Every structure is written in structure tokens, then in C-alpha cells.
Amino acid sequence: MKRNPASAGLSGEIAVPGDKSISHRAVIFASLAEGTSRISGFLDAEDCLRTVEVFRAMGLQIDRDGRDLTVHGKGADGLKEPEVPLYFGNSGTTARLMSGVLAGLPLFTTAYGDESLSVRPMDRVVQPLRQMGAVIEGREQGKKLPLAFSGTGLSGITYEMPVKSAQVKSAILLAGLFAEGVTTVIEAAKTRNHTETMLPEFGVEVTNDFGAISVRGGQKMKASNVDIPGDISSAAFFIVAAAVVPGSDVTIRRVGVNETRNGIIQALKKMGADINVEITDRIGEEPVADVTVKSSELEGITVEGELIANLIDEVPVLALAATQAAGTTVIKDAGELKVKETDRIQAVCDNLSLMGADITPTEDGMIIKGGTALRGAEVSSKGDHRIGMMEAVASLIAEGETTIHRPEAINISYPDFFSDLEHLLYNR
């Protein structure tokens, strides 16, 4: 049997790539603005590059030098009707946010996605956009991609969101910029707030009245420079790895720890993880920190309610941590996981069960009885980046060899994941 390379623990420092949510928004806002915007620390991974390609297809010049982008914005009026269908790939954020933009532009556009995105719900944005007057056609009456947008005049609405989704909130606010009057989105539980905190940097006035977020239509956007912090959703894999692999001591530099995104740290601390967060900087409204994690004795907890939106993308790796905690962890109120890149409730439970975990799916989450030793197995990312990376972390504590099928899924958000992991394992 091969010795697990992680038996000596993970150690050293790392900086994870730029935040995915902020990267998408930076490109979209800069592309709608007038003037030249510079974006540094951009996430040069498949999902965010889709957003760049969408604007290039509408005639915009965007120069990329690795993780530095220069967007030569001409304002929304400068965007041209694309001659080909727009391709959103695997990217839910591109699909939902761009739907808000395309609904308001005076152009005819069509858009489609890959196999996974084509079965994900689009009615959550199409329905409120139609309330604003948008003309959108699509498969299953617009519930799914492909969609066609005949840009037309929109009117502002007040929309109480039935789903906890920052993508829906952002799509409506973006459409609101093209609408007559004021558009207000009311969210019952706080979701990631990058749209409303970043729009003012591009000259847009946004008000937030206890969760009722409003924009006035017709505001001209002006260019801005954006520096993007490291993605806490990518850092989460190393945070959990360091917590569960004995003998580990890892520092992740320049991680964005926005209060609407740091639920994974809150949950792991509640489980007893040895995590130190040292705020080192503030980029715009985004606090940035060095996060140091040491191997920890974990205890099971219940994760539910408002915290869920704050760690929704981290549930797969949190579930892995729970397999190593004493006692039971219950994750509930997380039905949204079923409509991510895969059904993540099923994908997590299937894969961790194959590795020997005691984990049971429920309607809106999962129940994990901790303290089980994992064993190597043949698993698959099922084409989902976060499932693939969770499996790689699981393999570090598994006895025997693990084979991960479809590992290339990690390219969606973190192309250098395996080499960064090797760096922490072998300090190279």
C-alpha cells in the first residue's frame, strides 16, 4: 500500500487565486462603464473567462495579461449585437447576471450553456425580469437555457426574493440600471453583497435599507480600477485540509473574508478548529486577511438558517470535515445545493460514502456521523469543480489510493489547485 503523502502534514504559505464572484462582477461592471478599467488579481479560470468572452462577442476590447485585465469600456450603449449565440459554459453566475444585462440592452441575443448549466433553473431570474417588462423566450417557457433576449424598455419593480440567491439579486439590480424608475430587491436572508458594495465604485448610487436594496435606472457608469482578493471558497479546501490532516500548519495569504462569505470559518471555529484570521488590508469594501490553520480536534455541530447562504459553496468540504469530527453534524436549510453544478447533496454523499463515511442525504442537507476513518476509493468529480477538490482533500486522510475521475473540473474555478496542494504537501 502506498504511504499517503499527507502523513507529514501540510505546511507553509500559499495565496489562492482571485475571488470568482468578484471577478465576474468586475468584468461586467467595467464592460458597462465608460472609460478604461484595470482589474488586478482576476480569476483566470474557465468560469470568469466565459464572462470576458461574452463581452468580447459584443465587440468590447478586453486585454488580458494573466491575472491583469484592461477593459476598454464604451458604456452600455457601445455594446454591439453579437453575431453568434453567447456561450455561458458551466457558469451559473455568468448566466444569471448576464440575463439581467441582456434583458435591458436594446439588442437581440441568444445564449446557451454546457450540459450542467442547461438543466439549472433560470426561471428564478427570467420570471422577475419579465415582471420588469423583459422579453425573454427559452426552453420550457424560459425555465432553462438556451434563452433569447429581445432587449426592450424595462420598468423598475420591488421584488421580494423567494430564493436566497446573490445571483438573482444581482441580475435584478443590473436590469434595474436599464429600467425606468427605481428597482428594489428585498432579501429575507443576507446573501453575498459584492454587487451592492462594488457598484458605487463604478459611479452607481445604491441604497440599502435593512435588506431592501435599490438602484435608480439610467445612471451612467464610469470606469474604475479593481483589485481582487483571494477567494475564500478556494481557500476553504486548504483550511479544511490543514484542520483534518494531523501535523499541519498552513497560512493562506490575502483571503477575502467579507462577512457575507466567511461562514466556513465561523462553522469550523464552532467545530473547534484552530483558525486565526488576521485582517491585513481592506480593498474597497472587502476585508482581506491572512488565515492560519493548524490540525484540530473537531466536534460535530448543526449548520442551518442564515449561516447556510454564507457558506453554500463550502458545504462539500465542510461535510468532509464533519466526517472527521467527534459526534454528529447536521446540515439543513441547504436545498439550494441540489441545483448547483451538480446535485451537491447527492454528489457529496455518494462520494464520501464510497470512501467509508457515514453520511446520509436529507431533503435539504445531510447528516454526518463523524469519527470514521476514510479509505481510498474510485470517485468522480461528476464534472463539478468543488466536488473534485473536496475529493482531493479527502484523499489526503484516506488509507490507500484514491482515483478521482474527471479531475479537470477544477479548471472551472482553480486551475492551479493540484500544484498548490503539492506545494503545501512537499513545500515545493
Asked if the peptide bond before residue 146 counts as cis, ω within 30 degrees of 0, the response is yes
Q: How many CB atoms lie within 10 A of CB 399?
A: 13
Catalytic annotation present for 63: no
Residue 4: phi and psi, rounded to 5, are -70, 125
Q: Which is nearer to ligand S3P, 357 or 414 (CB)?
A: 414
Cβ atoms of 257 and 265 within 8 Å: the answer is yes
For residue 25, give the nearest of 83, 84, 69 by alpha carbon: 69
Residue 167 marked in a binding site: yes
| Distance of closest approach, residue 197 Cβ to ligand S3P, in angstroms | 13
Per-position x/- string for 190-209, each x denoting binding to ligand S3P as judged by CB under 6 A, each - no binding? --x-----------------
Cβ atoms of 16 and 22 within 8 Å: the answer is no
Site for ligand S3P in 280-319 (CB under 6 A): 312-313
SS3 185: strand
Q: Look up residue 410 and give its DSSP letter.
A: G
Per-position x/- string for 110-149, each x denoting binding to ligand S3P as judged by CB under 6 A, each - no binding? ----------------------------------------
Residue 220 marked in a binding site: no
C-alpha 232, offset from chain centre? 9
Q: Which of 47, 231, 313, 420 is catalytic?
A: 313
Residue 216 marked in a binding site: no
Residue 386 marked in a binding site: yes
| Distance of closest approach, residue 338 Cβ to ligand S3P, in angstroms | 11
Q: Which is nearer to ligand S3P, 170 or 184 (CB)?
A: 170
Residue 253 marked in a binding site: no
Segment near ligand S3P (CB under 6 A); pick from 131-139, 165-173, 213-221, 370-378? 165-173
Angle, alpha carbons 186-206-220 (nearest 5°): 130
In 58-122, where does DSSP find H-type helix? Answer: 92-104
Which residues on neighbouring strands pair with residue 69, listed in sequence order? 39, 64
Segment near ligand S3P (CB under 6 A); pick from 101-109, 161-169, 269-277, 293-301? 161-169
| Distance of closest approach, residue 336 Cβ to ligand S3P, in angstroms | 6
Q: Which is nearer to ligand S3P, 71 or 337 (CB)?
A: 337
Q: What is the largest CA-CA distance in the chain?
A: 67
SS3 59: coil
- Dist CA 317 CA 250 (whole Å): 17
- Dist CA 323 CA 356 (whole Å): 9
| 323 belongs to the binding site for ligand S3P (CB under 6 A) | no
Site for ligand S3P in 16-55 (CB under 6 A): 21
Segment near ligand S3P (CB under 6 A); pick from 111-119, 159-167, 292-300, 343-351? 159-167
**Where are any strands of DSSP class E within 295-339?**
302-303, 328-331
**Joined grid coordinates for residue 296:** 484540530
Per-position x/- string for 333-372, each x denoting binding to ligand S3P as judged by CB under 6 A, each - no binding? ---x------------------------------------
Residues that bind ligand S3P (CB under 6 A): 21, 93, 165-167, 170, 192, 312-313, 336
Known binding residues for phosphoenolpyruvate: 20, 92, 120, 167, 344, 386
Residues serving a catalytic function are 313
